[in-house]
């Protein structure tokens, strides 16, 4: 028998109290799962407490299954461990549906290896009664909404529509910083806190626009810094340049990095970017990394989340942009994702104004990303930016043949430039402008 094994520890919430208080029923459910997995039972003992609650353990030839319940709280704690080749997850899903669990925290450990791996943590939301197909008694393949809506209104509406149709959940988990949901419908989509980050159908429109103009205009491309971008999709584009010798990628969320470097669908999308020997990942806060950084970079790519709150707005400040400028080599180029110049023009132009307050010259540009509409970016440098001979040498698929079109804006968008404000730690305004733009957009639509 192999010493390697699978160990699942889970907290199941919202379970049916009647089942949780029935020792015989619980024993039958666990024995059924063990039988389905083809494992041998050595002994089984279940005990019901008064006034309620059950504890039970089944010893199997490959270790054990155990459960302890709190029917009054609809909560069950389970510990399932087996060595050998059995894959527990399929039977765990069946068991959780039998218990009527609404959501689960599941921790999966790989056992028996000398190379320690930290637990894989997943937060699973199971279908509820309001998602039952009227033509059958089986629940639709859909996820229950998170208990607290976090995404913007339109992403929530779009996500709800997808969840009521056919889709495949590839990965769902929680980190200390965000909810992570990777799903496949007609495409593969990443949602963070229920807000759409990318669709595999058009993410190259965004990432090619983010990376290639700055890489093309920089005097050198040997050393690159990426701030954010934990999905590895921007990193993929940077690595398309053979002259790149070193890339430092800074992201605060270790769960995001692990997910992007281990989930097969993500590895396929980012082309295994995190396995490239040129890449060093730094799990750190961008501000802290910049404050202590001693390296100089030819290109610095800022792929921060939108400034939806004051904490994220602090990333787009004069102080941070000055630190970024100090980390830039002479002849270097900075690029920053800057939200939508059409839907959030005050935010877009204010990011440019903040770069100027840090002593940098800017060139704004935009592309169309079908999932988001027009999306804007700012190039920034201590020196005047000459884009007249912009030529991209790396392979790309979505950028226009005439790259100068990227730098063209409508008169309506250009007029909004007069409303731009500089964002600093002393005068933190960007998140308020973001909320205002979102509110205006929702009213208009």
Q: At how many degrees (to 10) do helices 345-357 and 318-326 cross?
A: 50
Mean pLDDT (the chain) is: 86
Comparing C-alpha atoms, which of 315, 202, 295 is closest to residue 248? 295
The CATH number of the domain holding residue 407 is 3.40.50.150
Residues whose CB falls within 8 Å of the CB of residue 273, separated by 6 or more in sequence, listed in order: 232, 233, 235, 236, 239, 279
pLDDT at 116 over 70: no
Q: 193 near 179, Cβ under 8 Å?
A: yes
**Which is the catalytic residue, given 231, 303, 306, 343?**
303
Both 374 and 251 in one domain: the answer is: yes
Report the half-sphere exposure of 128 (CA within 13 A, side-chain side): 12
Q: Are residues 302 and 433 in the same domain?
A: yes
What mean pLDDT comes out for the span 267-281?
A: 95
Answer whether the bond into residue 97 is a cis peptide, omega within 30°: no
Burial of 9-48, coded b for 16+ CB within 10 Å and e otherwise, reads bbebebbbbebbbbbebbbebbeebbeebebeeeeeebeb
Domain with residue 28: its CATH number is: 3.60.90.10
Answer with the one of 176, 199, 222 that is the final residue of a domain.
Answer: 199
- Is-above-0.85 flag for pTM? no
**pLDDT top residue among 226 and 121:** 226
Task: Indicate whether 289 and 153 sit together in one domain.
Answer: no
303 carries an active-site annotation: yes
Of 172, 199, 226, the one marking the end of a domain is 199
- Note the pLDDT tens digit of each residue in 169-189: 677 777 777 777 787 767 888
The per-residue pLDDT for 133 is 37
Same domain, 100 and 181: no
Q: Residues 287, 397: one domain? A: yes
Residue 137 pLDDT more than 80? no
> Which is it for strands 297-303 and 328-337: parallel, antiparallel or unpaired?
parallel
């Amino acid at each position: 028998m192999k010493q390697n094994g699978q160990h699942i520890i889970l907290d199941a919430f919202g379970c049916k109290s009647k089942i949780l208080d029935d020792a015989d029923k619980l024993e039958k459910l666990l024995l059924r799962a063990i039988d389905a997995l083809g494992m041998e039972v050595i002994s089984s003992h279940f005990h019901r407490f008064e006034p309620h609650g059950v504890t039970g353990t089944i010893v199997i030839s490959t270790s054990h299954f155990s459960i302890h319940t709190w029917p009054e709280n609809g909560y069950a704690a389970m510990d399932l461990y087996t060595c050998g080749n059995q894959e527990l997850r399929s039977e765990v899903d069946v068991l959780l549906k039998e218990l009527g669990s609404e959501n689960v925290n599941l921790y999966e450990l790989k056992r028996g290896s000398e190379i320690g791996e930290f637990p894989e943590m997943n937060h699973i939301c199971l279908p509820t009664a309001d998602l039952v197909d009227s033509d059958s008694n089986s629940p639709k393949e859909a996820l229950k909404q998170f208990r607290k809506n976090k995404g913007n209104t339109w992403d929530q509406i779009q996500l709800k529509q997808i969840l009521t149709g056919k889709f495949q959940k590839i990965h769902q988990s929680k980190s200390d910083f965000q909810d992570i949901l990777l799903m496949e419908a007609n495409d593969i989509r990443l949602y963070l806190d229920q807000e759409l980050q990318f669709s595999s159908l058009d993410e190259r429109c965004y990432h090619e626009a983010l990376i290639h103009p700055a890489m093309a205009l920089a005097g050198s491309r040997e050393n690159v810094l990426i701030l954010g971008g934990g999905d590895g999709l921007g990193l993929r584009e940077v690595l398309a340049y053979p002259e790149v010798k070193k890339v430092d990628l800074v992201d605060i969320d270790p769960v995001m990095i692990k997910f992007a470097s281990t989930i097969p669908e993500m590895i396929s999308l980012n082309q295994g970017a995190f396995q490239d020997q040129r890449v060093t990942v730094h799990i750190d806060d961008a501000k802290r990394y910049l404050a202590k950084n001693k390296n100089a970079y030819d290109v610095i790519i800022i792929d921060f989340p939108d400034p939806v709150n004051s904490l994220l707005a602090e990333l787009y400040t004069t102080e941070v942009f000055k630190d970024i400028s100090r980390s830039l080599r002479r002849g270097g180029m900075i690029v920053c994702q800057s939200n939508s110049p059409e839907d959030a023009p005050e935010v877009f132009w204010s990011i440019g104004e903040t770069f100027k307050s840090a002593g940098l010259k800017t060139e704004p540009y935009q592309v169309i990303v079908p999932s988001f509409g027009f999306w804007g970016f700012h190039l920034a440098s201590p020196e005047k930016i000459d884009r007249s001979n912009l030529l991209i040498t790396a392979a790309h698929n979505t950028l226009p043949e005439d790259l100068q079109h990227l730098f063209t804006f409508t008169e309506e968008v250009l007029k909004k430039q007069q409303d731009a404000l500089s964002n600093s730690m002393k005068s933190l305004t960007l998140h308020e402008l973001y909320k205002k733009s979102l509110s205006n957009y929702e009213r208009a639509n």
